[in-house]
Amino acid sequence: MYTLLAFISIFGGVVFIHEFGHFIAARSVGVKVDKFYVGFDFFGLGIKLFEDKKGTEYGLGLFPFGGYCKIHGMVDESLDNPDSNTLIDPTAYESKNTFEKLWILSAGVIMNFILAIVISFFIFSFYGKQDQLPIIHKVDIDGPSFNILNPSSKIISINNEKINSWSEFTKYLNASNIDNVISDKELDNVIIEYIDLSSKQQYTVVIEPRTIEVDFYYPLFHQLKKLNAIDYFKDSTRKIAFIDIGIEPQPQVYLQPFVNEVLDNSPAYLAGLPGNSLIIRINDTPINTWDDLTQFLSNNNDEKINLTYKFNNDTYSVNITPVDGKIGIKPSLTKMNIIPENIIFSKVDFFEALKSSFLKPYEDLSLQFWGFKQIFNGSMGFDGLGGPVKITQEAGKAASYGLPYFLGFMATISTILGFMNILPIPGLDGGHALMTIIEGVSRRQIPTNIKMTIQSFAVFFLLGLTVLILINDLKNLF
């Protein structure tokens, strides 16, 4: 029930704001709104509350997922056929000029982006930016800091620059040497001042950093570029480079031990472990995270293991003999959970909050574009698509983590809804806008029967797409 209420609050609120945008835009140019409902009144299953002096019927839909705004004289998803008087009725949609129509059609999308910006500004102003404490969680045994820095140490400065968060540390670390990477020069040593949290003693050490170079991966670079990392082409391959001293912060999230892919002819493949399975135990050891899995395998000395997993809601087990501490599986990067206790919010000033609130929708959309590109070029399967069930799950998670996460998720959903609606697909606002532009350029009305036909196909297409995504949701759920 808690998760369902979170979903209704997020999705319902975002859709309601969208429809309210159409409402106020229509009223602003003298177009009558026939119906304005809180919640959907599918099949007329709604409760009429009252009707105002302008003839707008207000009511409550029995499906509490947003709202519905019926514009007078417009062919929409209701498939109501406007009468022949809509061209001469001054309160009808079709009587308005191209710019007035586009204003009505775009107002919902505009409201979605405004909502995302307002919510983001509230989060950045009241809470701050999400960050991590500058506390060392792990030290790489092959890294520059091994036997110099220890876990559970808090970094307080780098090169005499005081820091309060892990992102500040990473920014200064990259800034100290990234120019040397660009010019292919030897890296300068860095001075680290830290407090050992066990002994409460303060120390200063000098460490020789290293350059880490990895293949370009947009979600990774999306985060690292804010921390002064760079990207470039090397031998026709796009790379990301950043400075590293071989330490890791306390994790903000953890990957679930969910198997996304089993490599051909690997130990897991030969043992019959299927993809889309969730590992729950190895021998008698519970496995709760992907790190638990990799740590167990690295300490196992390639001895045969009994691996227990869930697949299609049933539990199975297989015997696998690892090779070099690996069994040939890949995780799903979408199956992760937040660790709220390892997250802090760094305060920012008014102008930084304002700037960040406008950048947040852009960043969300850039990740969406990247995701669609990966799906279309075959790099990512349709399993990555999420619909009502996925949104419900994530809304419940976000609400359980706290208000800033819940509001942040709501801002992201508002941005995505606005973007999806502006696409030139029949049945969506962008499809209506495309037909309006065609009419405006050609100076000819598209016949109503053609509009009705297009809208009918659009309704069936969108319903089919919804069912497809819902099936995908349920498949990922079980």
Give the best-scoring range by mean pLDDT among 15-19, 79-83, 285-289.
285-289
Question: Mean of the per-residue pLDDT values for the chain?
Answer: 84
What phi and psi, each to the nearest 5 degrees, are found at residue 285?
Answer: -100, 120
- Bridge partners of 215, per DSSP, are 239
SS3 at position 338: strand
- Bridge partners of 344, per DSSP, are 131
Higher pLDDT pick, 455 / 78 = 455
Looking at this protein, which amino acid is placed at residue 367? L
Q: How confident is the model at residue 281 (pLDDT cuts 50, 70, 90)?
A: very high
Q: How confident is the model at residue 54 (pLDDT cuts 50, 70, 90)?
A: confident
Q: Assess contact for 144 and 207: CB atoms under 8 A.
A: yes
Q: 408: exposed, middle or buried (C-beta count within 10 Å: 0-12, 13-18, 19+)?
A: buried
SS3 at position 37: strand
What is the sign, positive or negative, of the torsion defined by CA atoms of 296, 302, 303, 306? positive
Q: How confident is the model at residue 221 (pLDDT cuts 50, 70, 90)?
A: confident
Q: What is the pLDDT of residues 306-349, one digit of tens each?
A: 999 999 889 999 999 999 889 999 998 778 888 888 888 888 89
Q: What is the pLDDT, as a whole number, of residue 46?
A: 75
Q: Assess contact for 305 and 283: CB atoms under 8 A.
A: yes
Q: What is the pLDDT of residues 109-134, one digit of tens each?
A: 999 999 999 999 999 999 999 898 99
Q: What is the pLDDT, as a whole number, of residue 246?
A: 94
One DSSP character per residue, 213-280 reads EEE--HHHHHHHGGGT-EEEEETTEEEEEEEE-SEEEPPSEEE--EEEEE-TTSHHHHHTPPSSEEEE
Q: What is the pLDDT of residues 72-103, one digit of tens each?
A: 888 765 555 565 555 567 888 888 899 999 99
Q: What is the pLDDT of residues 132-147, one digit of tens each?
A: 899 999 899 899 999 9
SS3 at position 334: coil
Q: What is the pTM assigned to this prediction?
A: 0.76
